[in-house]
Amino acid sequence: MKKDQIYWLSLLGLILDQLIKRFVTKHLLLGKVVSIIPNFFALRYVQNTGAAWGIFGDSALLLSIVSAIFLIILNLYLSKETHFTKQSIIGYGLLIGGVLGNLVDRILHGYVIDFLDFNIINYNFPTFNFADILIVVGVFLIIIEIVRGEISGNRSRKRTRSLGPISK
């Protein structure tokens, strides 16, 4: 049942991502900047043919293949995994939904629709989208889950060693 929750959350993330991107392409002109918070946040419709920060420009096919392989490997891992926490369910669901959102863009358009544009301390952060947020938050939650597991695993091992051998 918990694996189903991952996929339902992924589907929700994918649908929201695509609805937002449809709104952006319908209501924003390509390259036009709409200032929301002056000198901090704007909407800017960009067609990104590469990955984050525009690296691997004009590589939609390669990035689509890499995304598909990643999703296959992740699904194989999830099919064998038996223990899921609420945090890991959310993390994997967001990650898969975000990867799917950008993969759908690459397959349908040959580029990813980006539109969130931040200027932070005079640094114009690369324009990104909702799917990217899902990916980053998902990875962050998974990393926290892994680190927390490592820490609690180390604590339980220390406690076991400090108790010494158990006698009957």
Taking the model in full, what pTM does it have?
Answer: 0.86
Higher pLDDT, 103 or 166: 103
Whether residue 124 lies inside any domain: the answer is yes
Q: Determine whether 25 is exposed, middle or buried from the number of CB atoms within 10 Å of its CB (0-12, 13-18, 19+).
A: middle
Annotated catalytic residues are 114, 132
What's the mean per-residue pLDDT of the chain?
Answer: 88
Residue 161 has pLDDT above 70, yes or no: no
Whether residue 87 lies inside any domain: the answer is yes
Predicted confidence (pLDDT) per residue in 19-75, tens digit: 999 999 999 999 899 999 999 999 999 999 888 766 777 778 899 999 999 999 999
How far apart are alpha carbons 129 and 46 in whole angstroms? 10
Q: How many domains does the chain have?
A: 1
Average pLDDT of span 125-150: 94
Whether residue 165 lies inside any domain: the answer is no
DSSP 133-146: HHHHHHHHHHHHHH
Q: What residues make up the domain containing 150?
A: 2-160
Whether residue 103 lies inside any domain: the answer is yes
Whether residue 166 lies inside any domain: the answer is no
